[in-house]
Chain A
Amino acid sequence: MRVTLDGYEPWWFELGNCLHSSVAAVLRARGVAPLPALGAHWGFRYRPGDARREEYYLPLPRCRSLVGALLPYHPVRSTWHEPGDEQQAWEQVREQIRDGGAAVVAVDNFHLPFRPAYHDVHSNHLVVVHGFDDRTNQALVLDAVPPVFHDWLDLKHLDAARGSTNVGAHRRDMFFADVPVGRRWFDVAVDGPVRDDPARDVPEALRRNVAGFAADDPFGEQVGIAGLSAFLTDSADRHEAGVAGVVDELFTVAGPHLASTALHAAHLRRAGRAREEPRWRELARHVDRVAHHWSALRITAAAARGEPRQAPLLRRRARALVSDLTIAVEECADVADRAQ
């Protein structure tokens, strides 16, 4: 049997990662524009110690699925499946495709010939599988992360990547190695119509984001501006004290927040242009400034590995980020108020 699902095309956002590109491909195939969905929510959330060694790491609120946390303002959710063995792993994906849905599959780049990391770096990554051919023993794989792969792949490669123990072997096996891939995959469910009406959606999202940045969490998670400030201060203090792994955690946590900030800016810029709303475009620039702080802080953290003396620079970068983020959130509130 050979089945291919149509409508899956590469979508890549330069400051995003494989989670954004995979979810975007699924959304597009279902007629949902990716940027308004991926760019609506902006916030900060982290539970200390939660950082997982995955390129697609995302802090999860309680009772939220991975994709539900990525798109909290939309009726979209995901369900992880954890097959017991190689045969079951492929059967589940095959069944999913036969039923008309793509499978978003966790893989180790080390085993994928089209990835630059092939036989070099171990990294826990996501690809979309939206077809299979039993005769050739191949899967139709979409990976929009550069260099972009959208082609048939022999199952032996996919099986190896899915079953990888992902054990790092050298110093460049850093942030996303050393956790078994476990042949996991998830499906994405769209539970209702997805509205794309910027005149209503943008002010509504801004109000919800502003409220989120002002919130605290009764269960001890670090959320909002206060949580962000506490997380960054604590990270610099622990790094200075010589605690191992702190900057790796900071690098990993910064990734999804950099992406969501830049996606929010891109969404506001696009909506502001389409609706000829200059203030929305100016707001987009304020938010983009924060994304560029995240870039700087993330690379500063990576460069501080094994160098506790870099803690003061981490603090300076953190203060600048929180300061400009606070200004941007105030601007969000102002734009939302004017829209009422």
Chain B
Amino acid sequence: MTVAAGTGRHRVLDLTDHLDSTGFTRPDATDAGALNIWGNTFAAGDLPAGHPRWLVDGVPFRTAEAGGPDHLRCRGQYLEVPIGRYDWLHLLATAERRTEDPVMLHFADGAVDPEWLRVSDLWPGGQAHFGEAPALRGSRLHYPRHVQANMRPTLWAQRVAVPRRTPLVGLRLPENPALHVFAVTCERPPESPEASCA
């Protein structure tokens, strides 16, 4: 069950029940997570001030507390969202090599539309191939047995359009384990009745 919190135009999804992987680790336990087959992770020390609350380009996100599972790998999970009209789904995500797949958007009237989720590479040197904003440029990369200071991984802030002007009830993530999702926030239209009542 996915619950949500937030005020104004944004609804921050609680992904707690879906978290299955650890992407941020402490320097004394760098083998406690894995963002790829080599066991690399972000440094917990790179988490921004205010964590687990994030603000990226004006969009609020909430990630898990550090020290345990903090994200999900996309394996076809269904995420409920608070029923409502939305323009955008914002995600904090990264990928093992850049990749893309449709997300299935489920609407209250039974309609389902595929929309693209596109995420650039975690790996140092990776560009914002899909035009995302970098949410975090790590200062170093954790390996299971050491910390590499000159490798800077990236967590991306990406968004998925919600073109249909009817209430959204949920989304089905793709079956693509290369995609790692840390947070999801839904953004309402600027002048919808729901937004003005929030």
Which A residues contact B (CB, under 8 angstroms)?
12, 14-15, 116, 120-121, 146-147, 172, 174, 258, 289, 292, 295-296, 298-300, 302-303, 313, 316-317
Contact = CB atoms under 8 A, between A and B. Distances in A.
Contacts of B141: 116
Contacts, number: 73
State the main secondary structure of chain A at its contact with B: helix
A129 B143 CA distance: 27
A14 B145 CA distance: 25
B111 interface: no
B37 A302 contact: yes
Interface residues of B, number: 32
B16 to A, nearest CB: 23
Contact of A14 (B73, B99, B123, B178): B123
A300 B101 CA distance: 13
25 contacts: A14-B98, A14-B129, A15-B97, A116-B148, A116-B151, A120-B143, A120-B146, A121-B38, A146-B123, A146-B124, A172-B39, A174-B37, A258-B97, A289-B100, A292-B100, A292-B101, A295-B95, A295-B97, A296-B101, A296-B176, A299-B96, A299-B176, A299-B178, A300-B177, A300-B178
Interface string B157-173: 00000000000000000
Interface string B81-122: 000000000000001111111000000000000000010010
Given A295-B99, A299-B176, 8 more contacts: A14-B127, A15-B121, A147-B150, A147-B151, A295-B98, A296-B99, A300-B176, A300-B177
B124 to A, nearest CB: 4
B151 A292 contact: no
B126 A14 contact: yes
B98 A303 contact: no
A108 to B, nearest CB: 16
B125 interface: yes
A292 B73 CA distance: 16
Nearest to B101: A296
Nearest to B124: A146
B151 A146 contact: yes
Contact of B97 (A146, A147, A298): A298
Contacts of B97: 15, 258, 295, 298-299
A292 B176 CA distance: 10
Contact of B125 (A146, A298, A302, A313): A146
B96 A14 contact: no
Contacts of B98: 14-15, 292, 295
A298 B95 CA distance: 12
A12 B148 contact: no
B77 to A, nearest CB: 14
Contacts of B27: none
